Chains A and B, each alone.
Chain A
Amino acid sequence: MDQEFQIEERAGTAPPVIVVSGEIDVATAPQLRECLHRVIAQGEATIVLDLLGVTFLDSTALGVLVGALKRCREAGGDLHLVVADPRIVKIFEITGLTNVFTIADSLQAAGPS
Chain B
Amino acid sequence: MTDPTDTLVNGDRIELRFPARGDLIVLARLVTSAISARAGFDIEELEDLRLAVGELCLLALHGSDALHGDLCLELTVLGDAIVVVCTLERAAAADVTGPEGDEIALLSEQILDALVDEHGRESRDGSVRAWLRKRRGGHAE
Chain A interface residues (CB < 8 Å from chain B): 2, 23, 25-27, 29-30, 33, 56, 58-60, 62-64, 66-67, 87, 91, 94-96
Which positions 50-65 of chain B face chain A at CB distance < 8 Å? 50-51, 54-55, 58, 61
Among A23, A27, A30, A91, which residue has its beta carbon within 8 angstroms of that of B111?
A: A91
B47, A87: Cβ atoms under 8 Å? yes
Residues of A close to B30: CB separation below 8 A: 2
- 27 A–B pairs (Cβ distance < 8 Å), ordered by A: A2-B26, A25-B22, A25-B25, A26-B23, A26-B25, A26-B61, A26-B96, A30-B98, A56-B50, A58-B54, A59-B55, A59-B58, A59-B105, A59-B108, A63-B97, A63-B98, A63-B104, A64-B98, A91-B111, A94-B111, A94-B113, A94-B115, A94-B141, A95-B107, A95-B110, A95-B111, A96-B110
A60, B141: Cβ atoms under 8 Å? no
Complex CA gap A94/B107 in Å reads 9
Chain B interface residues (CB < 8 Å from chain A): 22-23, 25-26, 29-30, 47, 50-51, 54-55, 58, 61, 96-100, 103-105, 107-108, 110-111, 113-115, 141
